[in-house]
Chain A
Amino acid sequence: MKKIVTGNKAVAEAVKQAVPGVVAAYPITPQTEIVEQIAEFVSGGLMPTRYIAVESEHSAMAACIGASITGVRTFTATSSHGLLYMHEMTNWAAGARLPIVMANVNRSLGPGWNIWAEHTDALQERDTGWLQVYVSTVQEAYDTILMAFRIAEHNDVLLPVMVNLDGFLLSHIMQPVDTVELGDFIPKIRLPHAIDPKHPAGYGTLTGPDQQFKFRWDIERSMRDSVKVIEETGKDFAKRFGRKYGFTEDYLCDDAEVIVIALGTLGKEAEVAVDILRKEGIKAGSMRLRWLRPFPKLNLKGKQVVVIDRDYSFGRGGILATEIMAQTKEDLYSVIAGIGGQEVTYDDIAGFVRTRRMGEEFWFGVNAHV
């Protein structure tokens, strides 16, 4: 069924169809519409879900952990400072191998108070053991939430999944969404280590230096196994519902001499920039990265690479650029653009490609090359 909704409402609609047993959440701009909509579904009897209106994000994730370990499907949503406030518990959720799904509406960090799009919030959660995916359209937000539950709960994964959508640029933008009849696309949740008083066990007890690394390696093993599960889930989704999703969304990359790589809506905007550049005779392509964890193998051989980061790691560089540098020896031009919702148009992106200076970093707006 076709509907025209915001990114936030599309997320809530997908969550409703996935029927979590428990949703625990705390409001923060620009995520609020997701939790308001879910609360409305629950109170209107449209979702047989317990909605726990907790007193903080730290407690939101802790409540999701407590619920998830009983074996029920669990969801939360947050943004920016909310995500950072739950940081201790995001580590706990992954360490405890709980398939919690979270929507994170990407937003800048204070000070100053800035509620606009930026990816530094989610990228600071990079090393927690969560799978991370970034979406670029309202349809993709809806579809990816559905896939996220199936991937997280898969027996070979059992790790939490964070679905990222750009604050306002996607959360509050209305686009058409084709909703699906879910059928058995997401199987019934079966958590092998669910708490059972008939089989008492200690969860997260004191663990010595001779044991802890084994649990950490187990997370990494599942992170690697998740690659196959993500591929399978994408294929089955395409077969059932007709829309294809991979680790990246490649646009005119095959014969391209220069490839633009970005996350989220910037990555989508880059496709328009590629069309403009192609008309000028510049052989450009765009590769929008969907999955950041697990990080996919990118084929960039022989290409010049322009990476746009809506984020930064002070003293090092654009976080996405740094990730890509770790994987390729190809020349790279790192552009820092879109911080705190700074406007970046497809014309701007085409400009970055035209005036690229390989091996350098460029701060858009400041016009500083480093």
Chain B
Amino acid sequence: MLKCTSACAGCSDSLALRYVLKAAGPDTVMVVPACCTSVIQGIYPNTAFNVPVYNIAFGAAAACASGMSNAFRAAGKKTNVIVYAGDGGTLDIGIQAMSGAFERGTDFLYICYDNEAYGNTGMQRSGGTPMGAKTTTTPTGKTDAKKDIDMIIAAHDPPYMATACAAYPQDIFKKVQKALTFRGPTFIHILAPCPPGWRYPTEKSVEMGKLAVKSGMWVLYEREYGKVTIGPQSKAAMKKPLPLEEYLSPQGRFKGIDPKIVEILKQKIAKNYQRLAAEEEASA
């Protein structure tokens, strides 16, 4: 990452990007659909990335990367092909192309950085928006649950997939390095807190990411050839999870949230963790 980035103040995605690019190294091409990263990379004729970045239409990143990866491999090149897409470009408009690319065994790393809404268009709800969160298209709070894209990816049985969070950069670094050692499609889902979208002060992005993990709203885990390993940060947190309210209350998007929805979210946290723990035990 170079200095001419045009990210918002306090953007946790630019933090994540720095570590993704560091881990991937120079022999890398990034494929970026419409998302915050289209903005973060800077304005023509500048680019803030020190690797080639191919920008492509919203729903087309995985398909574009699949053509690119095939062409590189046919030419005997090992160049890393990394899709770097937001939650809208992954969970919503890009899901078909992504599913196709995973099913075809494309040799690439797909990273979804998830700020839980359409960020660069001004925070409209996406499939990644959690229940209860206010966005510009759910002004009274979202009534539907967050889509579990990790389960959908897991159903494609990729050799490696992981969740990560922008507040844990070393963890991102390790997971990207690891993902790039596999042949075939790999996936990393990074939670990326967003100050203007989630409505918290710009200096609190790292804190917000940590609260997400400590409350169990976000669980760090890996799935390698089907074997689930829950990260030590999440294991430690889930021994005695932080009350969910401590994660929700600093964020303007959850202001005035219905206590009934908070209860549903708590139940979902418990159920999700139980499922992952059971999977970890079963696959040990």
Which residues of A are in contact with B by a Cβ distance under 8 Å? 21-22, 24, 50, 52-56, 58-60, 62-72, 74, 88-89, 92, 195-208, 211
The yes or no answer to B155 lying at the interface (CB within 8 A) is no
List the B residue with the shortest CB-CB distance to A49: B74
Contact of A55 among B26, B46, B54, B96 (CB under 8 A): B96
B104 at the interface (CB under 8 A from A): yes
Q: Report the Cα distance A92→B38, complex, angstroms.
A: 16
A266 and B89 CA atoms in complex are apart in Å by 44
A21 to B43, CA, bound (A): 32
Residues of B within 8 A of A59 (CB): 60, 62-63, 66, 96-97, 100
* Closest CB in chain A relative to B19 CB, distance in Å: 18
Known contacts A54-B63, A200-B50, A200-B51; 8 additional CB pairs below 8 A are A22-B70, A54-B104, A55-B97, A62-B57, A63-B70, A74-B67, A197-B26, A211-B44
Partner of B67, one of A52, A200, A207: A52
B39 within 8 A of A: yes
A66 and B65 contact, Cβ closer than 8 Å, known pairs A22-B71, A55-B99, A89-B60: yes
Cβ contact of B56, chosen from A54, A55, A62, A72, cutoff 8 A? A62
Q: Which residues of A contact B52 (CB under 8 A)?
A: 195-197, 199-203
* Distance (whole angstroms) from the CB of B240 to the closest CB of chain A: 45
Check A66/B53 contact, CB under 8 A, given A22-B71, A206-B44: no
B68 at the A/B interface (Cβ < 8 Å)?
yes
| Complex Cα spacing A59 to B64, Å | 7
B272: interface (CB < 8 Å): no
Q: How far is the CB of B23 from chain A (nearest CB, A)?
A: 15
Distance (Å) between the CB of B18 and the closest chain A CB? 15
Across the interface, do A72 and B71 meet the contact criterion of CB distance under 8 Å?
yes
A59 to B63, CA, bound (A): 5
Can you report 10 A-B residue pairs in the complex whose CB atoms are below 8 A from each other?
A: A56-B100, A59-B97, A60-B63, A66-B69, A195-B52, A202-B44, A202-B55, A204-B54, A207-B43, A207-B44
- Residues from chain B with a CB closer than 8 A to the CB of A54 are 63, 66, 100, 104
**Contact pick for B57, options A53, A71, A92, A201, CB 8 Å:** A92
Q: Are B39 and A206 in contact (CB under 8 A)?
A: yes
Provide the bound-state CA to CA distance between A63 and B67, in Å. 4
Whether A55 and B71, one on each chain, are in contact in the complex, defined by CB atoms closer than 8 angstroms, is: no
Known: A55-B103, A59-B97. A195 touches B60 (CB 8 A): no
Q: Contact at B64–A203, with CB atoms within 8 Å?
A: no
A22 adjacent to B96 (CB under 8 Å): no
Of the listed residues A50, A53, A206, the one surrounded by the most CB atoms of chain B closer than 10 A to its CB is A206
B140 at the interface (CB under 8 A from A): no
Kindly list chain A residues whose C-beta atoms are within 8 Å of the C-beta of B68. 66-67, 69-70, 195
The answer on a CB contact under 8 Å between A89 and B57 is yes
- Cα-based distance from A66 to B28 in the complex (angstroms): 14
The answer to the question of B136 belonging to the interface, with a C-beta cut-off of 8 Å to chain A, is no
Given A202-B42, A205-B55, decide whether A66 and B71 contact each other with a Cβ distance below 8 A. yes
Q: Tally A-B pairs: CB < 8 A.
A: 157
A66 touches B44 (CB 8 A): no
Among B67, B68, B70, B97, which residue has the most Cβ atoms of chain A within 10 A? B67
Complex alpha-carbon distance, A211 and B45, angstroms: 9
Of the candidates A22, A55, A60, A63, the one having the most CB atoms from chain B within 10 angstroms of its own CB is: A63
A24 / chain B contacts, CB cutoff of 8 Å: 63, 66-67
Asked if B75 contacts A72 (CB within 8 A), the reply is yes
Say whether, besides A54-B100, A89-B57, A92-B56, A62 and B64 are in contact (CB < 8 Å). Answer: yes
Contacts A58-B97, A63-B63, A66-B65; A205 near B70 (Cβ below 8 A): no
Q: What B residues does A56 contact at CB under 8 A?
A: 63, 96-97, 100
A205 touches B75 (CB 8 A): no
- Nearest CB of chain B from residue A152's CB, rounded to whole Å: 16
Contact in complex: A66, B75 (CB < 8 Å): no
CB distance from B124 to the nearest CB of A (A): 20
Of B47, B60, B65, B69, the residue contacting A205 (CB under 8 A) is: B47
Docked pose: A85 CA to B51 CA in angstroms: 31
A65 in complex: contacting residue of B41, B49, B64, B79, CB < 8 Å:
B64
B27 on interface, CB distance cutoff 8 Å: yes
- In Å, the complex CA distance between A306 and B137 comes to 54
Minimum distance in angstroms from A50 CB to a CB of chain B? 4
**How far does the Cβ of A216 sit from chain B's closest Cβ, in whole Å?**
14
Minimum CB–CB distance from B75 to chain A (whole Å) comes to 7
Which residue of the partner chain A has the closest CB to B100?
A55
Residues of A within 8 A of B119 (CB): none
Whether A62 pairs with B50 at a CB distance below 8 angstroms is no
